[in-house]
Amino acid sequence: MKVCVVALCISGALVAWSAVSGQDNRDASKRAKNSVYSEIENAPEKARAKRNPFEQNADAVSAGKILFEQHCAECHGETALGGKKAPSLRAVEVQGANPGAIFWILTNGVVRRGMPVWSKLPEPQRWQLVTYIKSLGIVPSETADSAPKKP
């Protein structure tokens, strides 16, 4: 029983620590925003060159929107303008990137900076997400930072 209580306490402390340090990471994420976007630059040439099979596909935009709400909006915000945990996806750095580079980021995540790997979503769903993200258009970073979030 004692061991059980100790294990529970350790788990609780770890959860609290990760929650609190997550807050620090979020504060730091604003400062390091440019370096977050710089991960896109790390996409290999082969990945950048990939064509989006759903380009200009209206159904893919609708499907991508639903997927975005289910998997991405919590961190990137409902309008993709950025949230407490993750940067805006409407910044020039993302909207100007090759679809293949965004697909590569989705597939590999940015694990050390808190973005999980999304290769668990099948490839067509990741392309649908890319199609939706690219359909959103640019909102400059300064505007994105001050933009009011939807309730």
Tokens read off for 50: 């990939």
Report the residue number, 9 or 92, with the smaller CB distance to another protein: 9
Rounded least distance, CB 9 to another protein, Å:
11
Rounded least distance, CB 142 to another protein, Å:
22
Report the residue number, 107 or 138, with the smaller CB distance to another protein: 107
Report the residue number, 16 or 32, with the smaller CB distance to another protein: 16
Rounded least distance, CB 123 to another protein, Å:
7
Report the residue number, 43 or 139, with the smaller CB distance to another protein: 43
Nearest to 36, CA basis, from 95, 93, 119, 74: 93
Rounded least distance, CB 85 to another protein, Å:
8
CA distance 101 to 42: 9
Rounded least distance, CB 63 to another protein, Å:
4
Chain contacts with another protein (rule: CB under 8 A): 3-4, 7-8, 10-11, 14-16, 18-20, 22-23, 59-60, 62-64, 66-67, 69-75, 84-85, 107-117, 119-125, 128
Report the residue number, 140 or 149, with the smaller CB distance to another protein: 149
Nearest to 114, CA basis, from 23, 34, 40: 23
